[in-house]
A = this chain, B = another copy of it.
Amino acid sequence: MLYLVGLGLGDATDITVKGLQAVRGCSRVYLEAYTSILTVGKEALEKFYGRELILADRELVEQQADQILQDADATDVAFLVVGDPFGATTHTDLLLRAVHAGIPYRVIHNASVLNAVGCCGLQLYNFGETVSVVFWTDDWRPESFYDKICKNRAAGLHTLCLLDIKVKEQSIENLMRGKKIYEPPRYMTVSQAADQLLQIIQRRRGQGEELGFTEDTVCVGVARLGADDQMIRTAPLRQLVSCDLGGPLHSLVVTGRLHPLEVDMLRLSAEPNALDQLHMTDSSTYTS
């Protein structure tokens, strides 16, 4: 049996009781280590679970999946994923490989940023399409996430922005030379994401575009969601550029139309007066 086990967000104790039972009963336990991270490392997890963990990087999962699935028809193998197992496409691929190899599988769900982000006070059913904000390079500066955010806002919807993670990446130089030397991991901060968004806004304003999302739009920066030291900061986008929310992972939410109950909740994570710019547009909604 292949167990796909979500570890939730936060630390070792965020695993479910069902998930812990599965982990303890498996002969091999892999820890997926490239799409997300907890606030604790492999050693803390091993201590709490009472099991040795095999780190599974992108190469192992995508190119040597057979190794993970080996003998899983005869023995139990667990594949641990931060958040919920269905947060990333590569896990779906592993599951399909198991099915095609005749290996039974079982999914043990857990919290994901997609639902836990509700703790900032924005109602989950008022979110539109989720977007990913990627690290720009000198010659690759995609802006498609900005257009999706505007589309959501035009429909009154909030947008969860997942921020880029670069783990075990090679520099172009090392890649070209075939050297397996990896750059230190990078996790995009709320400040970095806000900075890229502001650059897009400035560029487009310079071209005379009408903007559906500006530096005055109320946004929510979220860091280490679900952990004891979680931080949430609500402010207009331009203020989030200078915020320091500490260590990874960070996410950013761009608000759409706000319900009064949502505004009340956002005030808990805003500086006094930070939301004063909100104008009531009718009896039940606010816009930024």
Let me know if B124 and A130 touch, CB within 8 A.
Answer: yes
- Asked if A8 lies at the interface with its beta carbon under 8 angstroms from chain B, I say yes
Chain A's interface size range is 35 or more
- Asked if A76 lies at the interface with its beta carbon under 8 angstroms from chain B, I say no
Closest to A113 in B: B115
CB < 8 Å neighbour of A124 from B17, B87, B95, B151: B87
| Given A15-B17, A92-B261, residue A6 in contact with residue B99 (CB < 8 A) | no
Closest to A151 in B: B155
- Asked if A251 lies at the interface with its beta carbon under 8 angstroms from chain B, I say no
- Indicate the member of A126, A129, A268 with the most B CB atoms within 10 Å: A129
In the complex, what distance in Å separates the CA atom of A174 from the CA atom of B264? 36
Let me know if A109 and B119 touch, CB within 8 A.
Answer: yes
Q: How far is the CB of A228 from chain B (nearest CB, A)?
A: 9
Q: How far is the CB of A201 from chain B (nearest CB, A)?
A: 23
Copies of this chain in its oligomeric complex: 2
Chain B residue numbers with a CB within 8 Å of A162 are 125
Which residues, 105 to 158 on A, are CB-close (under 8 Å) to B?
107, 109-112, 114-116, 118-119, 121, 123-132, 151, 155, 157
| Given A124-B130, A125-B132, A127-B129, residue A8 in contact with residue B109 (CB < 8 A) | yes
| Given A96-B265, A111-B110, residue A86 in contact with residue B124 (CB < 8 A) | yes
In the complex, what distance in Å separates the CA atom of A116 from the CA atom of B112? 9
* A–B pairs, 16, beta carbons within 8 Å: A8-B109, A13-B18, A16-B110, A84-B111, A86-B115, A86-B118, A86-B119, A86-B124, A87-B115, A87-B118, A109-B115, A109-B116, A109-B119, A112-B115, A112-B124, A124-B130
A residues engaging B (CB < 8 A)?
Answer: 6, 8-18, 20-21, 83-87, 89, 92-93, 95-96, 99, 107, 109-112, 114-116, 118-119, 121, 123-132, 151, 155, 157, 162, 225-226, 261, 264-265, 268
